[in-house]
C-alpha cells in the first residue's frame, strides 16, 4: 500500500527529469532570442506602447488625413526596414537596413491581397494618407522561420513608413466612368 503512494510522485519526477534533459531545437532558441530582443527594444524605445492582438507595435509619428485604409485600397508608401541589433558597445538599436523603397518612387500594394507580409496588411490600416509611423513586426506576422534574403529566421522587423497616396477601390470606377464613351465598342 505504501509503494502505491510513492509511485505517482516518482513517475512525475522521472517525467520532469526526462523532459528537462531535452535540448531546445535551433528554432526554439531563435524564437526565444527574438522575444528577449523584442522585449529589450520595446523597453528601451517604446515603454508603455502595447501591441495589437496579433503582436505588432504601431507607433504614429505624424498623423495623416482622410479615411481609414480598408482591404482593396491600393496604397503607395516610402519605407525603410531594419533588423533589431544588440551591439556590445551601443546596446539595443535599429541595426542593419535590409530594404528600402528608395527616395523617388514609392512602393505600391493592394491592401489585403497577400502581396506583402501580414504585419504590413495590418499596420497600414492604422494609417491615413500623409501619415508617418514606425511599425515593429514580430516574426509571426513577418517571415516566421523562413530566411528571406538577408533577414534571418525569427527576426523582428522595424519599418519607418510614410503613406504617400491612397487609391480607394471606388476611385477606379470613377476613373473608368470619366473615360470618353468612344473608346468602348
Please list the pLDDT of the chain residue by residue as tens digits (185 residues): 455 555 555 555 555 555 555 678 988 999 999 999 999 999 999 999 999 999 999 999 999 999 999 999 999 999 999 999 998 888 899 999 999 998 899 999 999 999 999 999 999 999 999 999 999 999 999 999 999 999 999 999 999 999 999 999 776 545 444 555 555 55
C-alpha cell at position 157: 522587423
The four Cα atoms 139, 142, 145, 150 give a dihedral, to 10 degrees, of: -100
Is the pTM higher than 0.75? The answer reads yes
Amino acid at each position: 500500500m505504501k509503494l502505491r503512494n510513492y509511485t505517482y510522485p516518482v513517475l512525475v519526477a522521472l517525467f520532469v527529469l526526462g523532459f528537462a534533459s531535452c535540448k531546445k531545437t535551433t528554432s526554439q532558441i531563435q524564437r526565444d532570442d527574438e522575444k528577449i530582443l523584442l522585449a529589450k527594444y520595446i523597453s528601451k524605445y517604446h515603454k508603455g506602447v502595447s501591441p495589437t492582438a496579433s503582436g505588432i507595435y504601431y507607433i504614429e509619428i505624424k498623423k495623416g488625413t482622410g479615411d481609414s485604409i480598408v482591404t482593396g485600397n491600393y496604397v503607395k508608401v516610402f519605407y525603410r526596414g531594419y533588423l533589431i541589433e544588440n551591439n556590445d558597445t551601443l546596446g539595443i538599436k535599429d541595426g542593419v537596413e535590409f530594404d528600402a523603397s528608395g527616395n523617388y518612387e514609392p512602393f505600391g500594394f493592394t491592401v489585403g491581397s497577400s502581396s506583402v507580409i501580414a504585419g504590413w496588411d495590418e499596420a497600414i490600416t492604422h494609417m491615413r494618407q500623409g501619415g508617418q509611423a514606425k511599425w515593429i513586426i514580430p516574426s509571426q506576422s513577418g517571415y516566421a522561420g523562413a530566411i528571406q534574403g538577408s533577414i534571418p529566421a525569427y527576426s523582428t522587423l522595424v519599418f519607418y513608413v510614410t503613406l504617400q497616396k491612397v487609391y480607394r477601390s471606388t476611385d477606379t470606377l470613377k476613373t473608368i466612368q470619366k473615360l470618353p464613351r468612344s473608346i468602348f465598342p
